[in-house]
C-alpha cells in the first residue's frame, strides 16, 4: 500500500503491551505462551482433543509443536510437508517466530490452535515495507506479511496472526506498513482468531485484479492504527472487534483509519461489517472509520464498505468518519454506507458525512448476499 501517515467480547490487552512486557508479564497477561516440553496435566497431549502424531485424527492431519512433540517444529515446515489438498494442521501452544506462505496448491487447508484460545498460538514476525532484504531492496507491503495465504478454501481457528514491527524501534524506516496476514484465496474463513499489528494489519485481498475472493471473519479481534483492514476482497466481518491503538508519535488527529478497501469497480460486494464493535485506546474522535484506497495498479477501483448493526466507540470521529486517501478519489464517490449503528462514534450530526442504507437496501447487505453459495457460518 502507498506510504500513509482475545477473545471477542472481553477486554483485550493490546499488542503494544504484548511487545513491551517481559516474559513473566507476558505470561501473566496470557499473550505469549512458550512452547511446552510436556503436556498440561489434564491433557493426554499438547494437542488436546485433536489427537497426536501417534493417534492422528486423519491421515492428512499434521501436528506442530515448537518443542519437538509434533511432526514439525515450525508452521512453515508443516505447510511445506502438506502437499496436495485437504490437510489439517493442529498447532500446539507457543510463539512461532517465522514467516509462513500457503501457496495456491495447498487448497482446503485448515489450521487449528490446539488449546482453543487464540492467545496461546501466535505466529509472528517483524518485517515492514521498508525493511532491507538480505539480497538488496526492501520487502514492500506484500512482502512484509508474516503469513500469506494464496490457496482457496483456507480455514483458521483460534490462531493469533501478528506483525510486531514498531516504528519507534526503526526510525530509519519510512515504509512502516507491516502486515500480519495477507489473505488472497477464495472461501477463506477465520473463526475466533486475532490479528495484531499497527499499519496494514489485515490485508484482505484477492489473488488477481479480476478475481473476486470471498472471505469470512467471525468472532475475531483486529487491532492497529493506519488502514489496518484493507484490500479488494469480498469480506464479511461478523461479530468482530476492531480496536484502534493510541499513538505517541503524533500530536494531532487523525491517528489513523480502520478500513481502507480497494474494491474493484466490477465487484458488486466489498467489505461488510455486521454486528461488531469498534473500540479505541486513543482520545475521542482521533480515528476515522475509513478512507478509500484506489491503488496505482487499479485506478478504476471503487472501494466499498458497509458497516451495519455495529457499535462505534467515541474514538471514531462521528462528525466526519470518512476522509480521502487521495483528493483525486473523494470518498463521496465511493461505495461507503452505514445502517443502524450505535454508540457515540455513530451519532449522525452531519447527515451528508454519513451515508445511510435504506431498509430496502439493507436487505441485500447480508453475509448470505455477499458470500453466495458458500456458507462457512454453518460450521462455526
The 10s digit of each residue's pLDDT in 104-128 is: 999 999 999 999 999 999 999 999 9
DSSP string, 36-59: PSS--TT-SSTTGGG-BTTB-SST
Give 328's pLDDT tier (boundaries 50, 70, 90): very high
The 10s digit of each residue's pLDDT in 90-101 is: 999 999 999 999
**Strand order from edge to edge, sheet including 277-280:** 94-97, 121-125, 160-163, 194-196, 221-224, 241-244, 277-280, 311-312
Least confident of 3-12, 117-126, 132-141, 316-325: 3-12
Rounded Cα distance between 107 and 109, Å, is 5
C-alpha cell read off for 84: 496436495
Helix (H) or strand (E) holding 25: helix 23-29
- Out of 152, 205, 225, 227, the active site residue is 227
Q: Closest Cα to residue 273, out of 344, 186, 338, 212?
A: 338
**Can you tell me the mean pLDDT for 307-329?**
98
Query: What residues form DSSP beta bridges with 196?
Result: 162, 223
C-alpha Rg value of the chain to the nearest Å: 20
Mark whether 227 is an active-site residue. Answer: yes
- Out of 120, 200, 205, 219, the active site residue is 200
Q: How far is CA 303 from CA 203, 293, 335, in A?
A: 14, 7, 6
35 pLDDT above the threshold of 70 = no
Under 8 Å between Cβ of 231 and 262: yes
141 vs 41: which has the higher pLDDT: 141
Mark whether 219 is an active-site residue. Answer: no
Under 8 Å between Cβ of 237 and 367: no
Give 207's pLDDT tier (boundaries 50, 70, 90): very high
Identify the residue whose cell numbers are 512458550: 34
7 pLDDT above the threshold of 60 = no
Tell me the whole-structure pTM to 2 decimals: 0.90
Amino acid at each position: 500500500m502507498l506510504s500513509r501517515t482475545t477473545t471477542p467480547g472481553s477486554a483485550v490487552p493490546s499488542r503494544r503491551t504484548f511487545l513491551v512486557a517481559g516474559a513473566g508479564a507476558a505470561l501473566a497477561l496470557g499473550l505469549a505462551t512458550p512452547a511446552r516440553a510436556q503436556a498440561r496435566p489434564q491433557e493426554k497431549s499438547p494437542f488436546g482433543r485433536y489427537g497426536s502424531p501417534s493417534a492422528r485424527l486423519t491421515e492428512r492431519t499434521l501436528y506442530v509443536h515448537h518443542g519437538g512433540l509434533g511432526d514439525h517444529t515450525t508452521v512453515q515446515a508443516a505447510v511445506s510437508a502438506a502437499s496436495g489438498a485437504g490437510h489439517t494442521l493442529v498447532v500446539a501452544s507457543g510463539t512461532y517466530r517465522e514467516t509462513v506462505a500457503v501457496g495456491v496448491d495447498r487448497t482446503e487447508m485448515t489450521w487449528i490452535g490446539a488449546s482453543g484460545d487464540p492467545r496461546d498460538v501466535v505466529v509472528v514476525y517483524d518485517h515492514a515495507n521498508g525493511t532491507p532484504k538480505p539480497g538488496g531492496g526492501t520487502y514492500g507491503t506484500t512482502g512484509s506479511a508474516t503469513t500469506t495465504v494464496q490457496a482457496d478454501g483456507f480455514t483458521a481457528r483460534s490462531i493469533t496472526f501478528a506483525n510486531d514491527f514498531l516504528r519507534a524501534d526503526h526510525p530509519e524506516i519510512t515504509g512502516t506498513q507491516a502486515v500480519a496476514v495477507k489473505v488472497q484465496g477464495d472461501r477463506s474463513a477465520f473463526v475466533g482468531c486475532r490479528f495484531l499489528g499497527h499499519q496494514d494489519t489485515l490485508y484482505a485481498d484477492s489473488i488477481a485484479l479480476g478475481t473476486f475472493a470471498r472471505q469470512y471473519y467471525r468472532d475475531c479481534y483486529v487491532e492497529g492504527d493506519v488502514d489496518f483492514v484493507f484490500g479488494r476482497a469480498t469480506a464479511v466481518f461478523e461479530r468482530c472487534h476492531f480496536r484502534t491503538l493510541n499513538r505517541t508519535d503524533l500530536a494531532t488527529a487523525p491517528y489513523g483509519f480502520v478500513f481502507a478497501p480497494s474494491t474493484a469497480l466490477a465487484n458488486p460486494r466489498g467489505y461488510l461489517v455486521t454486528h461488531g464493535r469498534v473500540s479505541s485506546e486513543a482520545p475521542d474522535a482521533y480515528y476515522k472509520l475509513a478512507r478509500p484506497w484506489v491503488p496505482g495498479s487499479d485506478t478504476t477501483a471503487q472501494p466499498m464498505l458497509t458497516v451495519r448493526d455495529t457499535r462505534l466507540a467515541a474514538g471514531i470521529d462521528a462528525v466526519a468518519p470518512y476522509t480521502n486517501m487521495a483528493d483525486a478519489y473523494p470518498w463521496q464517490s465511493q461505495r461507503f454506507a452505514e445502517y443502524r449503528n450505535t454508540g457515540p462514534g455513530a451519532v449522525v450530526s452531519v447527515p451528508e458525512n454519513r451515508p445511510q442504507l435504506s431498509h430496502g437496501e439493507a436487505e441485500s447487505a447480508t453475509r448470505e448476499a455477499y458470500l453466495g453459495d458458500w456458507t462457512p457460518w454453518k460450521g462455526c
